[in-house]
Chain A
């Protein structure tokens, strides 16, 4: 009951965030020193062409009216047309967003699976070699620039060992000779839906290196945070009590102490997921991953405002949903969260 009320409250707050961002995006577009009509009209437009574009884009209407039109379109998922390519932005997003989400979800999962158990291990063996080793590893993971790590991984696993593909989302034999039907845009899901299990393997192989590259930073941070939280929790009396009750050490670490120590790591993972949505430009470029980061950075350079607005909105919503999920996860792990 408390949990339901808590989720409702968080959802309502989240809606405000989305509305606020819509407003901000619109305002920023008005403030940026560029003439959308001139951009829209194409290269070297005549004054007439610009005027025509201005009317087509309804730029002469009052600000408030245009905001309402803008917000309505956003709510309907109608992101308009790219100034540059004249393509429907919604179509572009349908292609790029699943690729990015696939990568972001996979790398976030990896970060959790690597960072948290290592943090627990390091705390349990505080001061001994597993602690020193994973602490060193986490510093390296956090300090290493992504482009460098990406290239090192490519060198080792693609060039030398030859066990993983260099880049792309699927092997050429599949993407060209026998492409997947695009149902959800998530290769893993589409392959399962199409009943082509061999493609699942291929898609996974392509995911590993970029996901690992993206996961390195959040995994390192999650490890440090889990370690310090666990060290504090392991000093608590209920851990001594659990030992006195004869529970096994793994049970105490993972079943009793870890649920108390998950909070900070979960928060960081949420932030890094948001970062992975658009901040992963370098990783996407190095691994030829057709994702949002590349799409939006090109749009920014071209001042292609509708694309920027659309991506900002979509990312905001993904981020808000992710945060909501993390809030719920934290309330599930610690029932006291729902009370505050």
Chain B
């Protein structure tokens, strides 16, 4: 049984202008110990899915799922209790994720105090060792600092140390490298990989960056317009993407284009989040679209260890 099992999740946010379908039908299966990537364009429901797993979806959001289970517990009921105890968050922009007016010592201590029954001294020592575990040199100095005195990479390590301080074994990393320099981002990814293997963590890596997927993830789920359209091992998906959207994403990478050639782009834009979808959500932008695509929901296709939703048979490349 997977650590996290999400089947047919939808999150709808009612607004005066009509319902926003932030998440339409997402499936996620995450095994213990893996780094599972979730990739998609802005507005595809990545972050909303993460927030829903943390029980932090906006107030009034309608959350419906056939299954929403973490380690056998129903997340639709227990998200609040599991949040910060078993499920942690590493958020997008570390500068915004840390409280600007509190020292790192205070912010680490608050987390430890909320979750561990330890003396003041023990908490101090634990905070320092957690910071050291994230590769920060001189943890004592970091503890005395305020967020604005640290670099972006150091801030992100503090955020990771905070997530570790909760004792959570499942971390949702929401674009953990987007706000960082490429080289610092690579270090943070390496750190996450190391923590996963050293501490037996499981990570859900939300990103829009194929390089992050390639660099850090074991398996990947591709989202499009609030739907999960393809899932499989990273190597396989990078080499033989099944869904035309995934194919287009990979073709749009700058590395894929010959030097000097015009870069490929996906024409059109994602369906507006307020409208319903008929047939295949990607059909209007799909270069291989057939008449049936606009009418019928695509069937599931299987190849080796990965699967996707498409009217085209699996054999067609």
* Known pairs A237-B91, A255-B110; A246 contacts B100 (CB<8 A): no
B162 touches A (CB below 8 Å): yes
Q: Which residues of A contact B (CB under 8 A)?
A: 236-238, 240-248, 251, 255-256, 259-260, 333-336, 339
B193 touches A (CB below 8 Å): no
A245 x B166 contact (CB < 8 A): yes
Cβ contacts B65-103/A at 8 Å (1 or 0 each): 000000000000000000111001101110011111111
**Which of chain A's residues have a CB closer than 8 A to the CB of B159?**
241
B111 touches A (CB below 8 Å): yes
A244 x B89 contact (CB < 8 A): yes
B292 touches A (CB below 8 Å): no
B303 touches A (CB below 8 Å): no
Would you mind naming 23 contact pairs between A and B with Cβ atoms under 8 Å apart?
A: A237-B92, A237-B93, A238-B96, A240-B91, A241-B89, A241-B91, A241-B159, A242-B110, A244-B89, A245-B84, A245-B89, A245-B110, A246-B84, A246-B111, A246-B114, A246-B115, A251-B114, A256-B110, A259-B99, A260-B99, A260-B100, A335-B146, A339-B148
**Which of chain A's residues have a CB closer than 8 A to the CB of B100?**
238, 260, 334, 336
In the complex, which residues 53-68 of chain B have their Cβ closer than 8 Å to any Cβ of chain A?
Answer: 54, 56
B99 x A238 contact (CB < 8 A): yes
Residue of A nearest to B163 (CB): A245
* Known pairs A237-B92, A237-B93, A237-B96; A244 contacts B84 (CB<8 A): yes
Residue of B nearest to A339 (CB): B148
Interface size on B (CB < 8 Å)? 29
* The 7 A-B residue pairs with the shortest CB-CB distance in the complex, in nearest-first order: A246-B84, A244-B89, A237-B96, A241-B97, A334-B101, A238-B99, A259-B101
Given contacts A244-B83, A245-B114, A336-B148, 16 further A-B contacts (CB under 8 A): A237-B92, A238-B100, A241-B98, A241-B159, A241-B162, A243-B56, A245-B84, A245-B162, A245-B165, A247-B110, A255-B102, A256-B110, A259-B99, A260-B101, A335-B101, A335-B103
Q: Which residues of B contact A (CB under 8 A)?
A: 54, 56, 83-85, 88-89, 91-93, 96-103, 110-111, 114-115, 146, 148, 159, 162-163, 165-166
Residue of B nearest to A251 (CB): B110
Write the nearest CB–CB distance from B134 to chain A, whole angstroms.
Answer: 15
A238 to B83 CA separation, bound complex (whole angstroms) = 15
Residue of A nearest to B145 (CB): A335
Write the nearest CB–CB distance from B83 to chain A, whole angstroms.
Answer: 6
A244 x B110 contact (CB < 8 A): no
Write the nearest CB–CB distance from B199 to chain A, whole angstroms.
Answer: 17
**Which of chain B's residues have a CB closer than 8 A to the CB of A241?**
89, 91, 97-98, 159, 162
**Which of chain A's residues have a CB closer than 8 A to the CB of B165?**
245
A246 x B101 contact (CB < 8 A): no
A25 to B86 CA separation, bound complex (whole angstroms) = 67
**Which of chain A's residues have a CB closer than 8 A to the CB of B148?**
335-336, 339
**Which of chain B's residues have a CB closer than 8 A to the CB of A260?**
99-101
**Which of chain A's residues have a CB closer than 8 A to the CB of B162?**
241, 245
Residue of A nearest to B146 (CB): A335
Residue of A nearest to B111 (CB): A245
Write the nearest CB–CB distance from B196 to chain A, whole angstroms.
Answer: 19
Residue of B nearest to A247 (CB): B114
A246 to B56 CA separation, bound complex (whole angstroms) = 11
A112 to B93 CA separation, bound complex (whole angstroms) = 34
Residue among B92, B93, B102, B163 facing the most chain A CB atoms (10 A cut-off): B102
B83 x A242 contact (CB < 8 A): no
Residue of B nearest to A242 (CB): B99
Residue among B89, B91, B96, B99 facing the most chain A CB atoms (10 A cut-off): B99
A246 x B97 contact (CB < 8 A): no
Query: Among A237, A243, A335, which residue has its beta carbon within 8 angstroms of that of B83?
Result: A243
**Which of chain A's residues have a CB closer than 8 A to the CB of B111?**
245-247
B97 x A238 contact (CB < 8 A): yes
